[in-house]
Amino acid sequence: MSARTRTREVCAAKAEALVKTDALRARRRRITQTVVPGDHIERASGRDHRVLFVVSEMADYIKAGGLGDVAASLPRALRDRADMRVLIPGYREVLERTGPIRVIGQTPAHAALPACVIAHTVLDDGLPVYVLICPELYEREGSPYVDAAGEPWADNAVRFATLSRAAAVIAAGEAGMDWTPGLLHLNDWPCALAAAYVRWSGSKASCLLTIHNLAYQGLFPAELAADLGIGEAQREALDFHGQLSFLRGGIVHADQVNTVSVSYAAQITAPAEGCGLDRLLSRRAALGHLSGIVNGIDSSWDPRTDHHLPVHFSVQSCEGRDHNARHVRRAFGLPESRGPLFAVVSRLVHQKGLDLTCDVAPQIVAAGGQLVIIGGGEPQIEAQVRELARRYPGSVSAYIGFDETLARRMFAGADFLLMPSRFEPCGLSQMYAQRFGCLPIAHATGGLIDTVDDGVTGFLFNAAEADALRRCVQRAFRTFRQSGLMAAMRRAAMLRPSGWDIAGTHYLDLYQRTTEARA
């Protein structure tokens, strides 16, 4: 049987394998209906939207996860069709890596939020970026969110309320700048509060809140309200079991809310994934104010040109992958092997299901596979991963840390990417892996449902449990042994459309609907 016929058979079988609960299907259908009524697309084109994309990380400067990638690629994808500008805090990395920078505005102090300076810079490709400068809040050693010991910065409430407030001041035209956005595109809890500040100030700006991960709400003690300039009457919108939830404030006050895949948008309206906000989100969904748009990935993820790779390759000619695999094995101190190479590229947090990977690793090793892991995060998960590597020298190896080059080489050399996330709003790693011909083995949740074609471009399993992952890994081993099928799936994965074109059009439509809400 030819590889093509076999792939077709696999395609036919995939519907069977993709078993989702009826409830999720129904929710997903409802959410899908709120996305992109086609008649908006014509009107939304043209550079008539002035958009300030507010974000707490951007891969050009500093990245803690996928949000940084999206911040670097989505505004660029929309630039031809909207006036896109980015607002980011002036972290040390931003100030060090930026080119010429010019002060063009300021925001006043407000309650305990300090005054800031706004500077303007332009990235190499012309994307305008506003940098919010406040050395006491942003210029320090550590990630945007946590200190060197991994603890959240003690003043995060003030740091990110200041960012949010600055966005609202700019939107109100009160920052002394010669440009005013019509729409704030807010991303996750660190700037969600901007939607509330906008509403409280009576400004006309429209706000779109994109939830990249509902599990991070930005929860702070209610006693901080006065410091953040939040009055008694305004607190209710933020109240989450007696604490202030920045994300809740954003969800209540934004004109439109979206998340980064259609399936996750559906899931967060149910208690299991709703993080206590499902009823609020359901209400917004019922009004047509909640939608899902699957992230794209940018063109730097191309195995034909990626400068991080020792050897380039393409769909037509994949031999280069073997060389990359040898490179990865060497980098991780593993011996050459004819067995499959499994990879994990992930933040090491509960969400990502590393415990399931650790449970299944002995079977991978026993069946002749090898496993390489790169990641960093929660100390106990880091310790678990180190212990796994110690137990299986020559078969499992781990690098605890962040290394973009090594990560890209792993996608380009490994046969399979393990992604048993308990939940996954979208996930980018599985898309990068597919683009590089590495087949994801993923839990059927959130964006993984929307971006992995089970049995065609990767493998999905239905319960976040070790046994389900184990069975899926066995399928991967069987596929690996059938070289024709493996090659066909690899080709299908590499050809899977995952650029920003479609998502960009959906965002433009959403911008249109968001601004119409205020018209």
Interacting residues toward ligand GLC by CB under 6 A: 65-67, 70, 212-213, 260, 295, 424-428, 447
Please choose, from the candidates 254, 253, 208, the residue with its C-alpha nearest in 3D space to the C-alpha of residue 510: 208
**Residue 160 C-beta: closest distance to ligand ADP, Å:** 18
* Chain residue whose CB lies nearest ligand ADP: 66
Contacts of 149 (CB under 8 A, 6+ apart): none
The distance of closest approach from Cβ of residue 427 to ligand GLC in the complex, given in angstroms and rounded to an integer, is 4
Residue 103 three-state SS: strand
Q: How many residues bind ligand ADP (CB under 6 A)?
A: 19
- The nearest distance, CB 452 to ligand GLC, in angstroms, is 13
**Interface with ligand ADP (CB under 6 A), residue from 78, 171, 345, 485:** 345
Least distance from C-beta 436 to ligand ADP, angstroms?
11
Q: Using the rule CB under 6 A, is 347 a contact of ligand ADP?
A: yes
Based on CB atoms, which residue is closest to ligand ADP, 323 or 347? Answer: 347
Among 10, 65, 81, 342, binds ligand ADP (CB under 6 A): 65
List the one residue from 195, 211, 328, 407 that touches ligand ADP (CB under 6 A). Answer: 407
Tell me: does residue 375 bind ligand ADP (CB under 6 A).
yes
The entry of ligand ADP, ligand GLC, none near residue 260 (CB within 5 to 8 angstroms by kind) is: ligand GLC
Which candidate, 399, 416, 421, places its Cα nearest to that of 342?
A: 416
Q: How far apart are CA 13 and CA 344, in angstroms?
A: 27
- Contact call for residues 49 and 40 (beta carbons, < 8 A): no
**321-343: b or e for each residue (b if 16 or more CB lie within 10 Å)?**
bebbbbbbbebbebeeeeebbbb
Q: Which of 69, 178, 163, 84 is nearest to 125 (CA)?
A: 84
Q: Determine which residue in the list 249, 292, 320, 376 makes contact with ligand ADP, applying CB under 6 A.
A: 376
x/- string (CB under 6 A) for ligand ADP, residues 412-431?
--------------xxxx--
Q: How far is the CB of 446 from ligand GLC (least distance, A)?
A: 7
**DSSP per-residue codes, 54-81:** E-S-BTTTB-SSHHHHHHHHHHHHHTTT
Contact call for residue 353 and ligand ADP (CB under 6 A) = no
Q: Which is nearer to ligand ADP, 77 or 183 (CB)?
A: 77
Asked if residue 346 binds ligand ADP (CB under 6 A), the reply is yes
Strands (E) in 401-449, as ranges, are: 416-419, 439-443
* Residue 375 interacting entry, from ligand GLC, ligand ADP, none, C-beta within 5 to 8 Å by type: ligand ADP
Of the candidates 485, 510, 326, the residue with the CA atom closest to the CA atom of residue 409: 326
Per-residue b or e along 345-367, where b marks 16 or more CB atoms closer than 10 Å to that residue's CB? bbbbbebbbbbbbbbbbeebbee
Query: For the chain, give me the number of helices (H) and strands (E)?
Result: 21, 18
Helix, strand, coil percent content, the chain, rounded in steps of 5:
45, 20, 35
Q: Please state the closest distance from residue 517 (CB atom) to ligand ADP, in A.
A: 28
In angstroms, rounded to a whole number, what is the distance separating the alpha carbons of residues 75 and 177? 20
Q: How many residues does the structure list for the chain?
A: 519
- Closest separation in Å from C-beta 332 to ligand GLC: 25
Burial of 404 (0-12, 13-18, 19+ CB in 10 A): exposed
Q: Of these partners, ligand ADP, ligand GLC, none, which one is at the site of residue 451 (CB under 5 to 8 Å by kind)?
A: none
Q: Which of 179, 403, 466, 517 is the binder for ligand ADP (CB under 6 A)?
A: 403
Residue 188 CB, shortest distance to ligand GLC, in Å, is: 8
**Three-state SS string across 282-315, please?**
HHHHHCCCEEECCCCCCCCCCCCCCCCCCCCCCC
* 404 binds ligand ADP per the rule CB under 6 A: yes
Binding-site partner at residue 407 among ligand ADP, ligand GLC, none, CB < 5 to 8 Å by type: ligand ADP
Q: How far is CA 284 from the centre of its chain?
A: 22
- For the bound state, the minimum distance from the C-beta of residue 222 to ligand ADP, rounded and expressed in Å, comes to 29
Residues of this chain that bind ligand ADP (CB under 6 A): 65-67, 69, 345-347, 374-376, 402-404, 407, 426-429, 432
